[in-house]
A and B are shown apart, each in its own frame.
Chain A
């Protein structure tokens, strides 16, 4: 139980294009989903927290117009990197909090984004 999928696992795009990453909770309802970014040899950095049906809460320094988050249902959240640039190349990973599981988070496998 508590499986989270993420799609795509790897994406390469041209500078200026937008990329959408999906995060799905497969066998539970996720009240909250979290989006993280990891730079090489660094820790997972929280970008934003999203709750179903409401606007995401972004961490300081994260541009909300750059990283659009939509949490349309209790099983799906999407992160769209708009007008991607090479500096947006990174590893993006989502996690989901389940009802009745306290503040435990279940992670997807991540998405490697490379912007050329």
Chain B
């Protein structure tokens, strides 16, 4: 897996708005897709690990879907709050390796 793209690069929303971002990756040799949230001056925090096509995972107001055949994942945040402000990274991994290949991330800012 060489090319991981995330869009948009940055996003500014008002508190209460719902938002979503995209992670695109080559679908060949896919094993798992990881989503991380990275707040400034903190460690990246794992949100989801997804492996199955059509999988959907949810954690509070955040959810993610996975399409392994076409090579994309969406991350949704419902009713954004200022504390959701962070960079959201996705990273697919391949079979026979535990390496993660990271996208450049989507930087989200939620204004009160």
Contacts and interface: CB of A to CB of B under 8 A. Distances in A.
A66 B102 CA distance: 23
Nearest to B51: A102
Interface string A14-58: 000000000000000000101010000111111001000000000
A43 B100 contact: no
Interface in A90-116: 93, 95, 97, 102-110
Contacts of B42: 109
A4 interface: yes
Given A4-B43, A43-B4, A109-B42, A103 B93 contact: yes
A46 B101 contact: yes
Q: Specify the main secondary structure of chain B where it touches its partner.
A: loop
A41 B61 CA distance: 27
A109 B43 CA distance: 4
Nearest to B46: A104
Interface residues of A, number: 23
Contacts of B32: 102-103
A97 B100 CA distance: 11
Interface string A54-98: 000000000000000000000000000000000000000101010
Contacts of A110: 43
Interface of A: 4, 32, 34, 36, 41-46, 49, 93, 95, 97, 102-110
Interface of B: 4, 31-32, 34, 36, 41-46, 49, 89, 93, 98-105
10 tightest A-B CB contacts, nearest first: A103-B98, A44-B102, A107-B44, A43-B102, A107-B43, A43-B104, A109-B43, A103-B93, A104-B49, A43-B103
